[in-house]
Structure 1
Amino acid sequence: MSADNVLDMLRQEPYNATVENTLWYRVAGARAILTWLAGYPGTSWQERWLASPAAECPRRWSEQGHLWIAAATKVKRRGTVQSGLLALAGADVIRLPLQWLIGHRSAQLREFVEEARDPAGFILLKNGVGQQQWTTRSGGKARLALTRILLAKGGGIADITVGDALEYDAALRQAGASSTGGAGTLYYAWLRELGGLPGDAPTTLRLLGRATGQLTCEQLVDRHGVANGPIRGLLIDYLEERRHRLDYGTLDNLARSLTRNFWSDLERHHQGIASLDLAPDVAAAWKERMRTRVKRRRRPDGTVEEQVVERADRALQMMAVRAFYLDIARWAVEEPTRWGPWAAPCPIKEAEVQDGKRTKRVKARMDQRTRERLPALETFARAAADHHRHLTACLEALRAVPPGAQFTVGGSVFVRSKNGGDCARDATGTRVHLDLAEHRAFWAWAAVEFLRHTGARIEEMLEISHHCLVQYRLPTTGEIVPLLQIAPSKTDQERVLLVSPELSDVLSTIIRRVRDPRSGAIPLVAAYDYEERVWSPPAPLLFQWDRAGERSCMSGELIRRSLGEVLAFIGLTDATGQPLDFAPHDFRRMFVTDAIRSGLPPHIAQAIVGHSNINTTMGYNAVYPTETIEAHRAFITRRRVLRPAEEYRTPTDSEWEDFLGHFERRKLSVGTCARAYGTACIHEHACVRCSLLRPDPAQRERLIEIRDNLIARITEAEQHGWIGEIEGLQVSLAGAEAKIRQIDDSSRAPGPVNLGLPTSRQS
């Protein structure tokens, strides 16, 4: 089209503006740009635009474009030039690349394209998503994404393809922007929900290239850099041989143990090594390196702090290497041609992989963690409910006041943002997204209630769908009871749990929360299995949330962060004053412990929590001191039955006075006698010799006199030849010296330590 034809088109619907002044600026700017582009080679306006310097960088156009136009025309105003470019791009005279559009900012871009380019398609889309979501901040970002795609690719809303969405996503990431926050992919969810994409299109853009997916055995080995070619091939063959019997997470850990932690480490410290038959010094050096690892922590100033710590999984790493050697030795018997050349003596003995002390330490630490948290479980659960009610009240109060107004909830003062969103600033000036905070508070409460009533793993909880709620009719009474079907997770064993009234209330609240208000159905979302690195088919998952307008499954990290916010709300601490944090797996351990303490047989608890070994279930059971005390008291009761009955009668007054007088009679001139009540002195009151004498420090001088007297008497006896008395005097002398040393040692000991008095946490 000629320049005159283009300008005539801009004066007509749907490109013309209702305001005459706005139309004049657009036409004047478009005329100036076309005049300027006419000086560049090309048969179309698009070719001339690409040949101009404006196509190189949107920032350069923004800073120098009006200067280029002013040099060729009389138009000098920057706003006029920008309006002209907007009109030309909206009329599809010039197509701007996605990278160019992402780097160029225009306040009128979205509204102009919605009115000028496919207005019917935008109206249909708006009616489908609803006015409320259409006008939100995330909805605005989704509409901006659609306008950018239309300006770059042409056509209307119905012409957008999955490839266009992927190209826009790649352009965002190349420009340094993130599209994983929900709003960046919301437009894709709109298009798919309204049928604008093919039926086999992925449910979300995160299905396409966002997750790494499962790697091949060759990729698992090559990511850690094995230099020796034959050894590399052996490791790949070994993993291929075992991958059919392992889940992907276990295979990934096994590959890391054999490559990075074993063979790659040997190659770094022993250049040229090429055999599995390790010399004793090489094997010993590797075992010594495996004892520790380097822990890196980034400081607030940006520097990295390195600390050498003991490796907690040392036994597991060595177990993987030992299994590697033993498997090859066993396979060499069955396939000598394939595995025989690699068979070598295992450098790791069986005793080196049995770390009983570490197992006991872990068990003790986990039991102590359970004992600390189980008494506070009800308090934490109430705090989660109170936290959600508080944030719900804050959100309702925010929506009841106009933008920029101040409101108070529970003594906390907030000021609503002036843009009218669900954001506010607290008394410290911190910006708070109350809608997101209320979301996290609700799911923290739901997670606490679900986990503590089921004992499920967190990954099992996140995979619960509406289809998992089933009914069962009792054959005896005909009563219908609700059941919860737990999908296979760690042990691939499906199990069914009875839904208690408390759990039923939680599940019904969750269903009301996630149900689509328009259709009444629970939206279908796809979940990503971080262990298997695969996406599950779309399902009506219960733990899903509105992620900036787009329905998305929850992650374990979101649940953990939400539990941390509940802890910050209540300020719960342990005996040392440290925060008493609750991890999702703590609820599983507390569930098992409380069930067994309440009388549930261990094998029933094993079936409920889905353990394949009852020893694992008993490992979750924390033994409380009360159980030990009660068992000891029962033992004392049984022993008393065997004792004479008169030993347990009430003492008479004379017997009680004699017992009290015993303590007075134990006081001696040089200390106190520690003999038991009712026993006679076996040393005939030779107290200096007796080991039961507790010398009084104030009587040290007297003991020194006794010692000197004994030395003098021994000297006299030796002079007169009294052999019989010398032996007895030497025994008394040794006793006196021992008592003096005892006093001296006690005087050098540190002073008494004030242990304090126990107080309640509230006081």
Structure 2
Amino acid sequence: MKSVLSVEQLRNIGPKYLQHPELVGRTFAGPFDTADRDEVLRVAQKLPDWPTAVHDHNELVEGIGWVLDWLESFPGGGWRDRWVAAGANTDPVSWIQQRHRGDHRTARTVRTIAVTAMHTLVAARVILPDYPYFSACKTYAGFARVIGRQDPSLVQAIRDAADRAQMSPRLQRDAWSVLAKMMLHTGRDLAQLEQEDLFAFRSAQLIQLGHHPGGCRAAWDLLAAVGVLPAESSLQQALRPGKRSVAELVDRYSVTPGPVRDLLVRYLEERKASVDYTTLKSLARTLAGNFWADIERHHPGIRSQPMPLAIPTEAITGWKERLSVVVDADGATRPRSDFLDVLLTVRGFYLDIRDWALEDPSLAPWVVASPITRSDVAGSAKRKQRSRAKIHQRIRERVPLLPELVARLEQELREATELLALAKRTHVGATLTFNGRRYRRVSGTVRAGRGLPPGQSFDVVDVETGTRFSTGRREDDAFWIWALVETLRHTGLRIEELLELTHLALISYRLASTGELVPLLQVVPSKTNEERLLLVTPELTSVLATVISRLRNRYNGTVPLVARYDNYEATTGPRLPHLFQRDFGSGPTVLGPTIIRDTLREVAGRMGFTDRAGKPLHLTPHDFRRIFATTAVQDGLPLHIASRILGHRHLNSTQPYVAVFQDDLIRTYRAFLDKRRSARPPEEYRDPTEAEWEEFEEHFALRRVELGSCARPYGSSCQHEHACIRCPVLRVDPAQLDRLKAIADNLEERIAEATQRGWAGEVQQLQVSLQAARDKLAKTPTGNQSVGPVMLGTPPMPRNPPSAPAQTTAKEDR
């Protein structure tokens, strides 16, 4: 059988998962590799499935003789060497046709005898074939017999673990086949298998088939569940390379070993302590890949110069020209978006070496003028402004699409749920009608329903188009994309923060002033390494509760504990009850950033979102974060509060997220138009419609607030949402003065606590609210006394009234 990949191609697949090419080609000799023919026959006859019937016994003995005669015609010190010399790893049956030429029986009978004999010799561990042999001779029944000869208690423990994990019958069969092949190849028993055996099998199958075989992850999980492999480990976790050393990061870009390579490693080692792993990889890619590797490739003689970092002008000019464009796989070129970022990084490298040389004289020989001048990076400020304007335009295009997106996702989830329920009630072979389309229920397969509980696929075929799909999988896809979008738009979380949400993140807090129990969402430290708490809105509460309920119903009342791999830090976290986890066929796993980005892109394309130029609009998880910030500030949330909700340390980080639509300019201009319109003939005006009149009445119905009423004019949006106590248009109800006093007292207590803890910014904000409360108490007529009737008394009557009324002066009249 011809290999699809070579070992060298296996080495270059990529760094995402380790491929272990060094384990490919390992050979093992069985315990009876050098036994003579008589001993081989005695060993084979001890197998528990050796036939007892005389006819079958004689045929199997005859077949074993045929195989041994054939192998003895090849050189080798044992049966394993002769097996390899005969090429039986990839072509174990071609010799049977020659054997049939002198036999009066049919070719099928002769083949059956010979193949059964080879399987018996493999099962007796006389011959330990390589993995390509099992692809040429598939026999699940033979694998089952191999498993049956293992420790019964261990086999039963593995079966129990598969049932607890709700593995489908097809996945269990694949896992058992993988385990049997590894035992037959290595000669080990089930309890003796090691993780390197699974690595070798996976790599050998990748070379032969061009893709990873099914059942590997399930086989690892089963062995880990019974203690053969490390407990609570996974194949993905074991295959991930983890954090690479600085030297490995530099050597990925084929930098020639020498002084410059060592300097790059030394520089990055110094920077390693002050940056995260993602930034460190970016620095290595820029300095080693984009910069020095390109210089060496186009100017190979520069590394032999006394001062190689002193790059000639023509060389650095050519490098800048090559750097300014990106060449795609099809040969097309486009401008590089991070061109100035690369220049700034290279300039920083030269300037850092110069500054460090003041304290470390060993760096002095490397101090040269930076080839990247100040004028080369002078356009960075303008680029940031263009980038901010581009982001704002991106937000403005996507904000109006959010209601439509949410409505469409809710509709798709509703329809998928109804179709699934209808398919459950329909017998296999029967026809059902949904939304005007006719479907025929067909028997579900494990492949169609992978990732679903057994029997939950419910496949149907569209009668008109012939398209077959799983209604259970469609409902599962619709639910998770709806849950992702709802959580992103209600929280403004980063994608890594979303994926780190667990069942433990939902906590409650009881307000000291009112005793109200408030749900909060605990966001673990991510980009800024700062933990924060978010208020959970009723809509978000419903979404998260539905997610938890779905996981519990799927996994016997509990949220599974799974470990999440952090792509940014290249580390695997502890096993926790993560909320956004799915089963893609080999057990629950936390969703990855790539899956979410691809899903959002697919949703936007399916819904046909385009910009004004007709080009497709793509959605990313970060778009929802920007939309959340923009709509919150637009609705009156103070910018510094929005900054804290987003987890930013500085307001400057929040401002690029906010694409304010400048409502004040719109309102002012509309007032100008209204004033100009008043001079036009009255017959040009019309009466308001019922919808407009209802909107007008609703405005006044919503003016009632906790402490009184809102005096903002009709047609204006609330600029002090959630901060009515500071709002100058709040009219305090005298009956609510006690509540206002309690609020003022609570603010004083909070100011004292903030002062004690040194929260200067919190003190300043609380003092503003306290001063506003005091002002309202002072301005309220009954702010310092209880509400009650006021006695004005009876005015006195004059004894001698004047004959004529006194004339009132102009001042008194005023």
TM-score range, shorter chain: 0.7 to 0.9
Take 1:465 and 1:73, find their aligned partners in 2: how far apart are those partners? 71
- Counterpart of 1:453 in structure 2 is 490
Percent of pairs identical after alignment? 34
Following the alignment from structure 1 to structure 2, what is the Cα–Cα distance between the partners of residues 135 and 177? Answer: 25
Question: What corresponds to 1:377 in structure 2?
Answer: 402
Residues in 2 aligned to 1:589 and 1:520: alpha-carbon distance in whole angstroms = 36
Point out 4+ residue stretches in structure 1 off by more than 6 angstroms: 72-75, 634-637
Aligned residue for 2:82?
51
Aligned partner of residue 141 in structure 1, secondary structure: helix
1:526 aligned counterpart, secondary structure: strand
Q: Are the equivalent residues in 1 in contact too, given 2:162–2:172 (CA < 8 A)?
A: no
What is the aligned counterpart of 1:343 among 367, 377, 387?
Answer: 367
CA–CA separation in structure 2 for the residues paired with 1:557 and 1:72: 60
Deviations 1:654-697 (CA, angstroms, capped at 9, x unpaired): xxxxxxxxxxxxxxxxxxxxxxxxxxxxxxxxxxxxxxxxxxxx
Once the two structures are superposed, residues 530-557 of structure 1 have per-residue CA deviations (whole angstroms, 9 ceiling, x without a partner) of 2222222322222111121322221112
**Aligned with residue 221 of structure 1, among 239, 245, 250:** 250
TM-score (norm 1): 0.73
The residue type paired with residue 502 of structure 1 is E
Q: Pick closer, same or farther for the CA change 1:651–1:599 going to 2, 3 Å.
A: closer
**1:191 aligned onto 2:223:** yes
Task: Please show how residues 335-484 of structure 1 align to structure 2 within 5 Å.
Answer: 335=360, 337-353=361-377, 354-398=379-423, 400-401=425-426, 407-415=432-440, 420-421=445-446, 422=457, 424-426=460-462, 427-484=464-521
Report Cα offsets for 1:498-535 as digits up to 9, x if no partner.
Answer: 12221122112222233375653322222222222222
Distance change in 2, residues 1:451/1:124 (3 Å): same
Secondary structure (helix, strand or coil) at the match of 1:130 reads helix
Separation in 2 of the partners of 1:398 and 1:66?
Answer: 52
2:475 and 2:371 map into 1 onto residues whose CA distance is 56
Amino acid at match of 1:36: V
User: Amino acid of the residue matched to residue 139 of structure 2?
Assistant: S
CA distance in 2 between partners of 1:16 and 1:621 (Å): 79
Tell me whether 439-448 or 276-285 shows the greater mean CA deviation: 276-285
Q: Would the alpha carbon gap of residues 197 and 456 (structure 1) be closer, same or farther in structure 2, given more than 3 Å must change?
A: same
Quote the offset at 1:241 in angstroms.
Answer: 1.1
Q: 1:452 to 1:258 in 2, by over 3 A?
A: same
**Any idea what SS the aligned residue of 1:245 has?**
coil
Q: State the shift of 1:453 in Å.
A: 0.8
> 1:624 Cα shift?
1.8
Q: Name the TM-score, length of structure 2 as normaliser.
A: 0.69
Q: Does 1:587 align with 2:618?
A: no
CA distance in 1 between partners of 2:123 and 2:166 (Å): 25
Q: Distance in 2 between matches of 1:46 and 1:479?
A: 83
State the distance in 1 between where 2:143 and 2:431 align.
32
**Counterpart check, 1:206 vs 2:206:** no
Of 26, 37, 42 in structure 1, the residue corresponding to residue 68 of structure 2 is 37
User: Residue 605 of structure 2 contacts residue 618 of structure 2 at CA under 8 Å; is this kept in 1?
Assistant: no
The residue correspondences of 1:539-618 to structure 2 (distance < 5 A) are 539-618=576-655
Alignment CA distance shift 1:386-1:62 (3 Å): farther
Distance 1:408 1:109, change over 3 A: farther
Relative to 1, partners in 2 of residues 1:429 and 1:651: Cα closer, same or farther, differing over 3 Å?
Answer: closer
Structure 1 SS opposite 2:660: coil
| 2:402 partner amino acid | L
Q: Deviations over 1:581-608 (max 9, x none)?
A: 3211110010000110111111111111
CA contact (8 A) 1:15 1:116 kept: no
Give distance in 1, aligned partners of 2:652 and 2:84: 73
Asked if 2 retains the 8 angstrom alpha-carbon contact of 1:226 and 1:263, the reply is yes
Residue of structure 2 aligned with 1:178, choices 179, 187, 211: 211
Measured at CA, do residues 316 and 62 of structure 1 come closer, stay the same or move farther in structure 2, by a change above 3 Å? same
Q: Distance in 1 between matches of 2:427 and 2:147?
A: 29
Q: Give the CA deviation at 1:380.
A: 0.8
Paired amino acid for 1:203: S
Stretches of structure 1 lacking an aligned partner (at least 5 in a row):
297-304, 641-646, 654-763
CA contact (8 A) 2:413 2:475 kept: yes
Which secondary structure state, in structure 1, belongs to the residue aligned with residue 589 of structure 2?
A: strand
Q: Is the radius of gyration larger for structure 1 or structure 2?
A: 1
Distance 1:255 1:289, change over 3 A: same
Aligned counterpart in structure 2 of residue 28 of structure 1, from 24, 42, 59: 59
Could you say if the C-alpha distance between residues 89 and 58 of structure 1 is closer, same or farther in structure 2, counting changes exceeding 3 Å?
A: same
Where do 1:240-259 residues align within 5 Å? Answer: 240-259=269-288
Question: Partner of 1:501 in structure 2?
Answer: 538
Match of 2:344 among 319, 333, 344: 319
1:748 corresponds to: none
2:449 aligns with: none
Q: How does 1:158-169 map to 2 (within 5 A)?
A: 158-169=191-202
SS of the residue corresponding to residue 306 of structure 1 reads: coil
Q: Secondary structure at the match of 2:576?
A: coil
Distance 1:445 1:164 in 2: 41
Q: Which amino acid aligns with 2:271?
A: R
For residue 139 of structure 2, give the secondary structure of its aligned residue in structure 1: coil
169-178 vs 312-321, which moves further: 169-178
Distance 1:109-1:624 versus aligned 2 partners, 3 A rule: farther
2:255/2:261 contact within 8 Å kept: yes
Q: Which residue of 2 aligns with 1:660?
A: none
SS of 1:624's equivalent?
A: coil
The residue aligned with 1:756 is none
Report the RMSD for the aligned CA atoms in angstroms: 3.6
Shift of 1:450: 0.9
Q: Take 2:237 and 2:605, find their aligned partners in 1: how far apart are those partners?
A: 35
Q: What's the CA shift for 1:349?
A: 3.0
Q: Kindly tell me: are residues 164 and 389 of structure 1, through their superposed partners in 2, closer, same or farther at Cα, counting changes over 3 Å?
A: farther
Aligned amino acid, residue 405 of structure 2: F
Q: Distance in 2 between matches of 1:46 and 1:287?
A: 63
Amino acid at match of 2:235: L
8 Å CA contact 1:49, 1:55 repeated in 2: no
Give the SS at the match of 1:537. Answer: strand
SS at match of 1:483: strand
Q: Distance in 1 between matches of 2:184 and 2:169?
A: 23
Residue aligning to 2:171: 138
Q: 1:82 aligns with which of 115, 138, 156?
A: 115
Tell me the residue number matched to 2:560. Answer: 523
- Are 2:218 and 2:586, in contact at CA under 8 Å, matched by a contact in 1? yes
1:466-505 CA distances to partner (integer Å, 9 max, x unpaired)? 2222232322233332221212222222221112221122
With over 3 angstroms needed to count, the CA separation of the structure-2 counterparts of 1:610 and 1:291, relative to structure 1, is same
Which secondary structure state, in structure 2, belongs to the residue aligned with residue 552 of structure 1?
strand
